[in-house]
Structure 1
């Protein structure tokens, strides 16, 4: 690959803006930008991709040990003869320098990072230090080399870093998840003799829209929920960016922002927040409702099993006598099934009612925006 080359993935085209290959420490990276249908490169959206561990490269293997495991940002070129002045900048440092170059060259760009394995370790580090979004795969946790400022930003901005990990991958899961970036997925790969098999990037598959496919099994329910929440946050961020662009458009008119324009921006901002909150609420409540429904099913199952066991033990008793004996020990259908299910149903109704309130609030804001656009024809023309 070389700078200027175009990459096609499904229906999307990207152009490689620049490539960095640091021969001394082994760090490799590229910056890419999307290309629209007219062939124009959109440098307002740039992704920096960092290359993962090449196990055949001694520099990458040394970086895995020195930086990932031991937390040393410097690179010892002669591990067998340390203290000989042979230390140079490590991959983490040159990864940040490359990011600085891209940031300086494209100051108005919205930059994000990606990577796999060591590449995701570098990408997570760079994103945390620069307050950028990241989505990558099988990366060890970089908290042992992050600055206190970066750690604080990560803590205050959950969901900005997304590190998909194979549950069975010992390499990618190294270091725990102190930065709370991991979405751990059970890939249903069975047993492999070679542990590296679980670490391969090729294990991950995507749908036609480029969204990662997560197998729908019991273990992955949390991962599916986490993924949905991350996509919601990305949509919310995109809406806010669009509003900022619209604000600039209004300001460029030369007369400042009118009261109606300010109302529109405020209402749209509120709508973006409400719609994101509604979507997050529905995702979370869907899981809660399922838990309640499972509880109702379990209560019914426990009662039936209890009744069956009682019938086996009291085969000389009538049905009413069996029920009377069970009642003596506080075991009744009312107590085990009817009352718990009534409580569960009440909670489900309360959750659904809260969702309806969110929907009504969003609808009211939308109506307010539409009414404003109808009253202010100049505003409507600017939004067209």
Structure 2
């Protein structure tokens, strides 16, 4: 199941592409507090320069059996970016055979096709999808790793099993795709989050159509060139949400909700298949449970949108209230300058005679805004109550049917 990571945590996952892992090790973020999975394969293709980590949600032995591979529900593929020039043995493969040739295609608008590393990255993804045939896949990549991810997504034989893709600071390679690959990339658009700090000189080509939802990052100003390319300009709020233009936030949250719902319904599909296999068919209680869980999956997805919308509106209302309060202070300051011969009481009386009072300019508008926001929060609370009622009904059903509860617990 796709985890509900924050934007900041997803950046940290992508940063793990530059860590040194060995097969079998846990991959962790949040200073070791959060395990994202276990490294099942370290890809180091000497011929093409491709480097990547394959991370499964369950720990596996070397050469897992088909049954063990079938137990994997989620795989994270992290493509590594370019090696630092002159400091690592493989840097020429990255820069001379990939970065520079691809950059030339983009800058000249003369597209001749993918490099060997892009092709091998696509083969890596397909091979892992064939090995872990029951799993959904999340893709991460930075810089050259972003280009590898873009191409692998567009060329994959199994696009229906892509969960989400989180790509950072990579040039736009849409132009070098075939017609069929462009169509596939377009279909996957709402599952691909392509983050770009446009103050960075590396992500070029976005004057043309890009792969996925291209998200401009609202970045810091005073950041060095190398640091900026390595996420140094990214800014987050206290909840780990990345600072992006308001107009993009709705598209991002809607796409994330669609991924969440699709993932939940996919899990329910596996449960239904398991229940059918165990008894030859579905009992009435099992059908009721699956129907209620489908409703719950959609309700939870919409709930995420509702909560995000309320958070966004809270910020907007706070901004408006601050502006209203500042308007009264500005009005008083202007009045003092114009009527310098009046004391404060006389000045306020004169403003009142003209219809300008704190009650009309501040108190009443602020009260109206707070009332409107309270109404919105009340609607949100009603929705939360509905979701809780559905959850309670499911829990009651599981409590009454222990065999069903056991099947769900073992999924």
TM-score (norm 2): 0.72
Q: Do residues 214 (structure 1) and 223 (structure 2) align?
A: no
Whole-angstrom distance in 2 between the partners of 1:184 and 1:197:
15
Match of 1:104 in 2: 130
Whole-angstrom distance in 2 between the partners of 1:266 and 1:380:
15
Q: How big is each residue's C-alpha offset from its partner over 1:83-124, in whole Å with a ceiling of 9 and x where there is no partner? A: xxxxxx543223223323333333333223222211112113
Shift of 1:298: 1.7
Shift of 1:357: 1.9
Once the two structures are superposed, the pairs formed by residues 1-384 of structure 1 within 5 Å of their partners are 5-9=23-27, 10=32, 12=35, 14-17=38-41, 19-21=43-45, 23=47, 25-36=48-59, 43-54=72-83, 56=85, 57-62=91-96, 63-68=98-103, 70-71=105-106, 72=111, 74=113, 90-130=116-156, 131=159, 132=162, 133-146=164-177, 147-155=181-189, 158=190, 160-166=191-197, 168-172=199-203, 175=206, 178=210, 179-182=212-215, 184=217, 186=219, 190-192=222-224, 195-200=225-230, 214=236, 220-222=242-244, 236-319=261-344, 321-327=346-352, 331-384=356-409
Count how many residue pairs are aligned between Structure 1 and Structure 2.
355
Give 3-state SS (helix, strand or coil) of 2:281's partner: coil
CA contact 2:39–2:53 (8 Å) conserved in 1: no
Shift of 1:149: 1.6
Shift of 1:34: 4.3
Give 3-state SS (helix, strand or coil) of 2:133's partner: coil
Whole-angstrom distance in 2 between the partners of 1:306 and 1:117:
51
CA contact 1:185–1:214 (8 Å) conserved in 2: no
Whole-angstrom distance in 2 between the partners of 1:121 and 1:144:
12
Q: How big is each residue's C-alpha offset from its partner over 1:245-287, in whole Å with a ceiling of 9 and x where there is no partner? A: 2212211123301222111111112112212222321122112
Whole-angstrom distance in 2 between the partners of 1:330 and 1:69:
66
Stretch moving more, 238-247 or 303-312: 238-247
Shift of 1:362: 0.6
Shift of 1:137: 3.0
Give 3-state SS (helix, strand or coil) of 1:74's partner: coil
Give 3-state SS (helix, strand or coil) of 1:19's partner: strand
Q: How big is each residue's C-alpha offset from its partner over 1:198-222, in whole Å with a ceiling of 9 and x where there is no partner? A: 2237x59xxxxxxx993659x9544
Gaps of 5+ in 2: 1-18, 63-67, 86-90
Say which one has the larger Rg. 1
Match of 1:78 in 2: none
CA contact 1:68–1:142 (8 Å) conserved in 2: no
| CA spacing shift, 1:304–1:18, aligned 2, 3 Å | closer
Stretch moving more, 163-172 or 101-110: 163-172
Task: Identify the structure with bigger relative contact order (alpha carbons < 8 Å, sequence gap 6+).
Answer: 2
Whole-angstrom distance in 2 between the partners of 1:221 and 1:270:
32
The CA RMSD over aligned residues, in Å, is 3.8
Whole-angstrom distance in 2 between the partners of 1:383 and 1:35:
18
